[in-house]
Chains A and B, each alone.
Chain A
Amino acid sequence: MVDNIPALGLSLGQMAKACFRRAEPAKPQAPRHERQVGEGAGSPIGHMSLGAPARGKLPYYLRMTMPTTPMPSRASQGSLACVGLGMTLGSHLTPLARSHIMQADVVFAGLSDGIVEMWLQRMHPDVRSLQSYYREGKSRFTTYQQWVELMMTEVRAGKRVCGVFYGHPGIFAWSPHKVIEIARAEGYAAHMEPGISAEDCLYADLGIDPGRFGCQHFEASQLLLFERRIDPTGYLVLWQVGLVGDRSLARFQTGPAYRQVLVDLLSKDYPLDHEVIVYRAATLPIQKPRIRRVALRDLPSIELTAEETVVLPPAQRLKPNLAMQARLAALDEQENAGVPA
């Protein structure tokens, strides 16, 4: 590995210090977000409603939070990067994500493994765990909002903030998307660096190519609570089955009776003896992925954690769409006859 640049007489560490010297913390000033949205001083949580009055008139599927282009920012202002640590200690952290961690003033950790969190603490002297905000009986949405509030408080104080989340910071993770949306709305530089997700590991460990037959993903509870169309000719991946049916968002586990409701729903499209795969990625490099295969009917009776994912392989063959094939054939004939379609 190259650890110095002879032509400049600098080590990489010296180069990094020269290039990324930390800006002086910003002096306290009137929060720009207050001037922008005219909300006045209030609880920081109030800032999360930025833009809500305008967007609130739209149906949710038209006001999904697409990241906006960051507004120009000064070096003395705070900034935010949400990065993924990947799933497996040592194996998945990208060089760029590591760089964000090391150059940050403060790091917040939303990780799923205590040893992985200790590993992160070796990379930075100020790593603040977000774990303590979880509590049985407390809505997880409250927890996720607190995480946003914690990160934004430091950004507004002029700090370079790095939120580190297990897997990919933007997959099944509410706070990273929300805090980036808010930071950008307030004029701070903010962006997300992807990480290797549980979904990525699942494809590799189970030998599934989602493009082969297509692949649907649902949070298991959403599948129960809303009318969704399951396509049993493709893969079906169900997340957070261990707490399926929890409408309070305050539990971390639900029992067999809740999973039986899920099985009853799935049994409309799959036979009860259909083999399903229960999967958990390795978080430590001395672990192997946990892969179990059970019949659909047995899903309620097995032990299942919130980290485990249930995969249903296709139960039916792909059905040719004869009408569309006929239309395409007609277009081909037209093209072959020299008439551009």
Chain B
Amino acid sequence: MTDTMDWLEAIGQDATLRHASTDELTSTLEAAEASEALLAAVASGDSAWLAQEFGYRPMMSPQSSQTFPEDEPEREDEEEPDAEVRLALSHD
């Protein structure tokens, strides 16, 4: 049975599914017995429904700042981050 992640990948890779109407995609997923969370997300246009299946995890997105582009960044809290990194590495 195709699970929701497989379905998401399949939809992302298929030109017909990726650009299908809500009704068409819902019908396809219903026929394939996709999960209730995925069906609800597609039918409502609200991907927040997927949290039922995958959980909710807020994610940060900024990965740079051009605010002061001429300055190499200085570490502010020298001790604490090193401890964080050491902890992460010790769990490998």
| A interface list, Cβ under 8 A from B | 43-45, 49, 52, 59-61, 88-91, 106, 110-115, 117-119, 122, 128, 131-134, 138-142, 144-146, 149-150, 153, 165-166, 172-175, 218-219, 221-222, 225, 240, 243, 246-247, 249, 252, 284-288, 306-307
Residue of A nearest to B5 (CB): A119
Q: Is B82 a contact partner of A43 (Cβ separation < 8 A)?
A: yes
Pairs A–B under 8 Å by Cβ, sample size 30:
A44-B85, A52-B72, A60-B69, A61-B70, A89-B9, A90-B10, A91-B12, A113-B59, A114-B55, A118-B5, A119-B5, A141-B73, A141-B74, A142-B73, A146-B84, A146-B85, A174-B63, A219-B66, A221-B66, A225-B68, A246-B67, A252-B60, A284-B8, A285-B12, A286-B38, A286-B47, A287-B47, A288-B45, A306-B62, A307-B61
B63 to chain A, nearest CB (A): 4
A222 to chain B, nearest CB (A): 5
Question: Given A61-B70, A145-B73, A146-B81, list of 11 further CB < 8 A pairs?
Answer: A117-B59, A131-B60, A140-B62, A141-B73, A141-B75, A144-B64, A174-B63, A225-B68, A246-B67, A252-B62, A285-B17
**Which residues of B have CB within 8 Å of A111?**
59
Q: Is A221 a contact partner of B65 (Cβ separation < 8 A)?
A: yes
Closest 3 CB pairs of A and B: A90-B12, A141-B73, A60-B70
Q: Is B52 located at the chain interface by the 8 A CB criterion?
A: no
Q: Is B10 a contact partner of A173 (Cβ separation < 8 A)?
A: no
**Which residues of B have CB within 8 Å of A59?**
70
B55 to chain A, nearest CB (A): 8
Q: Is B75 a contact partner of A145 (Cβ separation < 8 A)?
A: yes
**Which residues of B have CB within 8 Å of A247?**
67
Q: Is A142 a contact partner of B81 (Cβ separation < 8 A)?
A: yes
Chain B window 12-45, contacts with chain A (Cβ cutoff 8 Å), 1 for yes, 0 for no = 1100011000000100000000000010011001
What's the interface size class on B, roughly?
A: 35 or more
Q: Is B64 a contact partner of A174 (Cβ separation < 8 A)?
A: yes
A275 to B92, CA, bound (A): 51
Residue of A nearest to B50 (CB): A115
A118 to B54, CA, bound (A): 9
**Which residues of A have CB within 8 Å of B75?**
45, 141-142, 145
Q: Is B1 located at the chain interface by the 8 A CB criterion?
A: no
Q: Is B62 a contact partner of A240 (Cβ separation < 8 A)?
A: yes
